[in-house]
């Protein structure tokens, strides 16, 4: 089995959809819409709850194939995002 960059799962594109939903495109060809609202509504940590403000939520970026906000203030396991299930 090859262990090359083409076998490495990463997010190649992230687009804002609506509300707290993002469309994520992965290096394996999977496209998934992930709704972050349930996670944000349950969050109690002020470093996370500030992303309930849509302007802050929309400040996401891709960093080396990972989706993140701020300086790693909010980041999720890639496998969870790929499944579309975050907690």
Closest residue by Cα to residue 12 from 79, 59, 60, 63: 63
What pTM value is reported for the model? 0.88
**Which tens digit of pLDDT belongs to each residue from 4-63?**
455 789 999 999 999 999 999 999 999 999 999 999 999 999 999 999 999 999 999 999
Specify the pLDDT at position 6. Answer: 54
- Name beta bridge partners: 22: 16, 34
Mapping DSSP to helix (H, G, I), strand (E, B) and coil, where does residue 77 land? coil
- The model's confidence at residue 87, banded by pLDDT at 50, 70 and 90, is confident
User: What domains sit in the chain, N to C, each tagged with a CATH number?
Assistant: 5-83 (3.30.2020.10)
């Amino acid at each position: 089995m090859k262990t090359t960059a083409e076998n490495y799962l990463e997010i190649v594109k992230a687009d804002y959809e609506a509300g707290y939903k993002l469309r994520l495109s992965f290096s394996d060809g999977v496209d998934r819409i992930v709704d972050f609202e349930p996670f944000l509504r349950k969050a109690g940590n002020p470093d996370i709850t500030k992303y309930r403000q849509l302007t802050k939520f929309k400040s996401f970026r891709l960093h080396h194939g990972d989706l993140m906000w701020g300086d790693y203030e909010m980041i999720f396991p890639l496998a969870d995002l790929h499944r579309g299930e975050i907690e």
